[in-house]
Structure 1
Amino acid sequence: MFNPADRGTLAAKISSSLTCYRTLPELDSCEVRLRSTTLYASLFRYDDDILVNPHAYGEPASANPTFHFRRLDGGTIADHYLSSFERVGAGAVPWSGAEI
């Protein structure tokens, strides 16, 4: 069952993160996009590398492992997550860093 108090905690974490990332959109080589899609893993992409932090219910992200996958010829795992990242990104909106 959803706990309404969790929404406030999550909102505070997102706001805190955005405060830390506020200057990133100013960099030519960086884009920050916001989405409303519920994800069951945090995905961080760096060219052909992707970090995947799966979320176990009731546990903070920091209590779960983070996996590092790299796109390799003939490999499929990195492509699987990179495709997911692209699908989510297609529905996300660019963030200028101005509003939090």
Structure 2
Amino acid sequence: MGIRLTPDLRARVAEAAIAAGASDSAWLRQVALEALGVESPVDSASGRRVRVAPEDQAALAACVRDLGEATLAIQSSRSGEAVEALDRMRRVIIPIVLGFERRPS
């Protein structure tokens, strides 16, 4: 379906979508479902994206580095270093994931 929007309306849709953490298409699809009072798992499947805070992104990037360190440590038979790296990752990842579960959808 092709929908023609004025530049102003397109900008407003984009702004609303960003505020909701969704793409323009996902936001419009959700608005249509709500306006029509329809529940459709297929149509809402892409839904709103999970927003990852910048500080969580940085923490997860550090976990990727730790994963590399752990891999190298295991390959070099330095199990103590591998365990330390895995523990650092666990202490970061678990609170972030639990935070996702607690955030309202």
What TM-score do the two structures reach when normalised by structure 2? 0.27
TM-score (norm 1): 0.28
Q: Which of the pair has the greater relative contact order for Cα pairs under 8 Å at 6+ separation?
A: 1
Greater C-alpha radius of gyration: 2
Structure with the bigger percentage of helix: 2
